[in-house]
Every structure is written in structure tokens, then in C-alpha cells.
Structure 1
Amino acid sequence: MEKRKFSREFKIEAVRLITERGVSVAQASRDLDVHATVLRKWVKAFSVDPKDAFPGKGQMKPEQLEIDRLRKEVAKLKAERDIFKKAAAYFARDSI
């Protein structure tokens, strides 16, 4: 069974149906043919950060972009550190 994908607009409208129009999650679930748990997650995600909710495939939130950038930087710095350690050990061995 293939996983269904929903657009950002669909998710926002589903959340508005529940929050603004007062439709119950159970009724919206039946009407939209989306599991109630999924709708609850959408409502929670939208209430936490409406602007950056549902970024879509390949689009990360700014915080996640910063985390990824920092992880790459840490990996680069560790590689440089390891090179210097090996060089120091090599030159220390040759001087004996």
C-alpha cells in the first residue's frame, strides 16, 4: 500500500476545519478520509508554529537547516583535528 501524500494547503484547510469551524476531529476524519491521529498531529504542528508548519518534502525548517549546517561543520573540524593528531604522531615518531 502506497503512503498517501497531502499538500500543505490541504493540511492547513483540514486544521482550519477543526479549529475555526468547530468540526470534531472524528467527523473531519470521516469527511476527509484521513485518520484521526494524523489530523491531531496536523493540528498540534500548526498550533506550535503556523508559519513553518508542514514545510514539505525537501524543505526544512530554519532550525533544522542550522542543525544540519552545524553537524557538517563539526564533522569537518573533527576531520581536521584527526589529521593534525596523525601528523603530530608521525613527526614525533621520526624525531626519536
Structure 2
Amino acid sequence: MKTRKKYPVEFRAEAVKLVLEQGLKEAAQRLVIPKGTLAKANWVLAAKAGGDKPAPGARSVTELEAENARLRKELAEARLDRDLIKKAAAYFAQASLPGTLG
């Protein structure tokens, strides 16, 4: 019995985009999946029926940019915390040595 391969939402959205822009044959070649898989899958039909509705899991550029900015801020804060901890650890390691800092 064959098991059907389950493709991630992002992959399906990209596949639909490629089929609509380049055609079935070119999209199948670019994605390295059988043309029959794309033809039999209802991804394109569902996308056309949905109209302007984005694919499930798809996010706009604005949303991605906002998330990117938030993650950059979190990373900067984490780096500051890490640097502070390194300095504190070095200070206390030196302080624990005999004959230093009192």
C-alpha cells in the first residue's frame, strides 16, 4: 500500500504560485515533483476558488518584517544579557582567587 506524501502548507502555496505563473510542467520541474502530483492535487483549484484569500499559514511581507524586527530586538537583548553574565562571571572568578580584591 502506498502512503501519500504530505507536503507542508508553505510548499503547497509556493507550488500553486509557480503553477499559476509558469505553468504545470515548469512548476513540476522546478519543485522536483511529478507533474501528475501537481495535476491531481487540488491545490491550484482551491487557490483559484478561494480568490484573493491567502493560503493557510501564509503571512504578508509586513507581518514577516514585524516579526523580523521583534526577533532582532530580542536577540540584541539576549546578547546584552550574555555579555553582562560573562563580565560578572569573570569578576567573581577573579574575586575568588586568593590575594585579589580583598
Note whether the superposition's TM-score is higher than 0.5: no
TM-score, scaled relative to structure 2: 0.40
